[in-house]
Structure 1
Amino acid sequence: MNLTVSYRGQLYPLSLLPDDTLAVLHARLEELTSTPPQLQKLLYKGKSNKPLNDQITLIQAGLRDGVKIQMLGTTTNELDGIKAVESDQQKRERIMRERTLKGPTKLRSTGSSSSSSDNLNYRFHKLIPLSHLPNPSSAMDLLQRLSDDQAIRHVMQKHKFAVGVLTELAPHEHPELLGLNENAGQQIKLRLRTDRYDGFRTYKEVRRVLCHELTHNVWGDHDNNFKELNSLLNREVTDYDASVKAGTNVLGYSGEAYEPSEAQSRSQVLGGGSNAVSLLNDSTEDRRRRALEAAERRLRQEEEEMENSCGTAGRSAVVE
Structure 2
Amino acid sequence: MNRFSIYLLFSGLVLSLLLTGCETVIDAKLDTGPTQLSVDGTLTDLPGPQSIRLTQTAAYLDNGTPPPAIGATVQVRNNNGRNFSFTDPDNDGYYVWQPTGKDTLGRIGQTYNLNITFQGETYRATSRMNRVPVVDSLVFSKQKINPLSSTEGYQAEFFARDLPGATDYYRIRYYRNGTLQNKPRDIITVKDGSFPGSADTDGLVFIRPFRQSVNPDSLYNLNDTVKVEIMSLTPEAFEFWQQLQNQITNGGLFATPPANVPTNIINTNGNGRRATGFFIASAVRGRTARVAGENLRTK
Higher strand share: 2
TM-score scaled to structure 2, two decimals?
A: 0.22
TM-score scaled to structure 1, two decimals?
A: 0.21
Higher helix share: 1
> Whose RCO is larger (CA < 8 A, sep 6+)?
2
